[in-house]
A and B are shown apart, each in its own frame.
Chain A
C-alpha cells in the first residue's frame, strides 16, 4: 500500500559535503555502472553515440556559481540523488502501489513489476530524483544501493552505496539518521546539515553540509599570496651540493 509508514526503525540516508565535492562525477559513473547491472531494469541510454544523447541516471551533479557583491564567485558542485524523504510525496501519488517506503530502514523503492510508468511520482518529486526509463517504461530511482548495503557476498567495506564507496574526495557519507550518535548524524549536527527546499514539507532524510565560508583573501594589489611559499628553503647548501656550489663559484 502506498501509504507512508508513520515512522521507520532506521532512517538510512546520505550526507553530502558541498565543501569537499570536487565535481568529478565519479559517483555518477559508479552509480550508473552498479545500478545498470544489478537490481531491476538496466539504466538505458538513447542515441548514446549520436547527436542528441540522453539516458537514465539516478545521480547527477549540478555545478553552481554563488556570487556576493564585490567578492569573487564561489563554485559549488552539487550532487543530487533521491533524498529518501520522510514525507515522500512520490509514494502517496502512486496509483498501483509500486512506490513504497520501507518500514525497516526508510528507503524509498519502486517495485518495477507493478509500475505502469505513468510518471506521476516524478511530477510529485520536487528534486528531480525520479526518471522514467525510456526503454523499459518503468520509473527508476536511487535505491540507496539496497542490493549492496545488506549484501553479505560483498566484503564488508563495500557494503555502502556505490556513490559513497567510489567518492575519491570523501564528500559522501552513508549512515542512519535515526541514531543521534551515528557519524552522519554528528556530522550533520556539527556542520549545520541542511534539507533542500524545506518549504515543500517533504522532510528529506539526506542532508547537505554547506560550504565553509571562504577565508577573506586580499586580492587587490599585485602581491602574490603564494610567493612566500616559493622562497628557496635552504640558501646555504651543505654536503655534496655545498662542495659543488663552492667549486663552481671558484671557477
Chain B
C-alpha cells in the first residue's frame, strides 16, 4: 500500500494523543492548573492534529461531516463518531479540572474509555480489510492499542507503566512483523485464484491493461521502498522500544533525557507506521503480477 504522509501522521499522532488522554482521564498524572493545561494541550494538539491530517487525503473534504452517518456498518465512520465523543467528554473534563479545579471521576473514566475505543476503531479501519492479509490479523488492534498506551504512558510521565508497556509493545511489534511475512501465503491468494486460470497451468501477466500507472497501481501496488524493510525494522525496534526501555530501566531520567526518550519513541513509531503501509500487500496486485 502507498505509505501516504497523511495516513501515517493521522494514525501515529492521533494514537499518541488519545493514549495520553486515556491516562489523563484516569487522573494520571494528577495535575491541576497550568500543569494540567500543558498536559491537556499536548493531548488535544496530537489527537486533533492527527484527525485533521486524515482529512488531507480526502478528494472532497468539504463533505467530511457526512462520514459520521454510517456508524452501524463502517469502522471509519465509527472512528469519527467515537473520536468526537472522546474529545468532547475529555474537553469538558479538562476545562473543569484546569479552570475550576473540579475533577469528576466518572467523566474522566468515560473519556478514557472513549479514547481507547477511538484507537481500536482506527486499527479496525485497517484490520477489517481482507484484501490486505498483513493487516487482516487479530493482532492489528492489539498493536495499535499498545502503541497508544505505551506512547501515552511516556507522555503522561507514568514511567514504570511505560516501561512495561514498551516491553509488551516491542515484543508484539516483532511478532507481528514475523507473522505478517507469511500472512499473504497463508490466506491462499495467488494469481491462479485471482484469474481462475490455475487449472490450465502456470499463470503470468503477459501484457498490462495500459502502458502507464493507474490509481490502483499507485495506491495499492507499492513495491519501491521495501528494499530497506529489514534495516528499517531494526531502526524502528531500537528507536521505539529497545533504547527507551534501556533508558527507563537503568537510568534516572531528568526532563531533558525524558524528552529524548519521547522523541526517539516517536521517530520509531513513524518508521514502524511507514512500514505498516509500505509492506502491506493488497491482493489486487496479483492481477498486475506484482505485489
Known A2-B70, A131-B216; contact A119-B76, beta-carbon cutoff 8 A: no
Instruction: Decide yes or no whether A152 CB sits under 8 A from chain B.
Output: no
Residues in B with CB closer than 8 Å to A195 are 196
Question: Which of these, A64, A67, A116, A122, contacts B219 with CB under 8 Å?
Answer: A122
A56 to B214, CA, bound (A): 8
CB nearest neighbor in B for A120: B76
* B74 close to A197 (CB less than 8 A): no
Contact residues of A between 38 and 82, Cβ < 8 Å to B: 52-57, 60-69, 71, 74-76, 78, 80
B222 to chain A, nearest CB (A): 12
Complex interface: stretch among A5-13, A88-96, A160-168, A243-251: A88-96
CB nearest neighbor in B for A119: B219
Instruction: Decide yes or no whether B252 CB sits under 8 A from chain A.
Output: no
Question: Which of these, A57, A64, A80, A118, contacts B203 with CB under 8 Å?
Answer: A64
Complex interface: stretch among A143-151, A170-178, A198-206, A225-233: A198-206
B58 to chain A, nearest CB (A): 5
B63 to chain A, nearest CB (A): 5
Contact residues of A between 103 and 132, Cβ < 8 Å to B: 114-120, 122-128, 131-132
Instruction: Decide yes or no whether B61 CB sits under 8 A from chain A.
Output: yes
A125 to B194, CA, bound (A): 13
B289 to chain A, nearest CB (A): 8
Instruction: Decide yes or no whether A22 CB sits under 8 A from chain B.
Output: no
Question: Which of these, B57, B63, B288, contacts A96 with CB under 8 Å?
Answer: B63
* B213 close to A67 (CB less than 8 A): no
Complex interface: stretch among B127-135, B229-237, B264-272: B127-135
* A125 close to B187 (CB less than 8 A): no
Contact residues of A between 1 and 37, Cβ < 8 Å to B: 1-3, 18, 28
Question: Which of these, A80, A98, A116, contacts B58 with CB under 8 Å?
Answer: A116
* A66 close to B194 (CB less than 8 A): no
Residues in A with CB closer than 8 Å to B208 are 62
* A128 close to B76 (CB less than 8 A): no
CB nearest neighbor in B for A213: B200
* B59 close to A127 (CB less than 8 A): no
* A62 close to B287 (CB less than 8 A): yes
B209 to chain A, nearest CB (A): 4
* A76 close to B197 (CB less than 8 A): yes
B199-217 vs A: 1/0 string, CB under 8 Å? 1111111111111111110
Interface size class of A (residues with CB under 8 A): 35 or more
A120 to B131, CA, bound (A): 11
A1 to B196, CA, bound (A): 33
CB nearest neighbor in A for B135: A123
Question: Which of these, B67, B202, B282, B287, contacts A80 with CB under 8 Å?
Answer: B287
Residues in A with CB closer than 8 Å to B63 are 96, 114-116
Complex interface: stretch among A134-142, A182-190, A234-242: A134-142
Question: Which of these, B61, B132, B204, B211, contacts A116 with CB under 8 Å?
Answer: B61
Residues in B with CB closer than 8 Å to A63 are 205-207
Residues in B with CB closer than 8 Å to A98 are 66
B263 to chain A, nearest CB (A): 31
* A134 close to B215 (CB less than 8 A): yes
Question: Which of these, B130, B188, B196, contacts A210 with CB under 8 Å?
Answer: B196
CB nearest neighbor in B for A78: B195
* B77 close to A66 (CB less than 8 A): no
A89 to B76, CA, bound (A): 13
* A131 close to B193 (CB less than 8 A): no
B66-81 vs A: 1/0 string, CB under 8 Å? 1111101111110010
Question: Which of these, A71, A95, A197, contacts B67 with CB under 8 Å?
Answer: A95
* A124 close to B196 (CB less than 8 A): no
CB nearest neighbor in A for B63: A116
* A67 close to B201 (CB less than 8 A): yes
* B203 close to A60 (CB less than 8 A): no
B117-135 vs A: 1/0 string, CB under 8 Å? 0000000010011111000
Instruction: Decide yes or no whether B179 CB sits under 8 A from chain A.
Output: no
Top 3 A-B pairs ranked by shortest CB distance? Answer: A117-B59, A137-B59, A60-B209
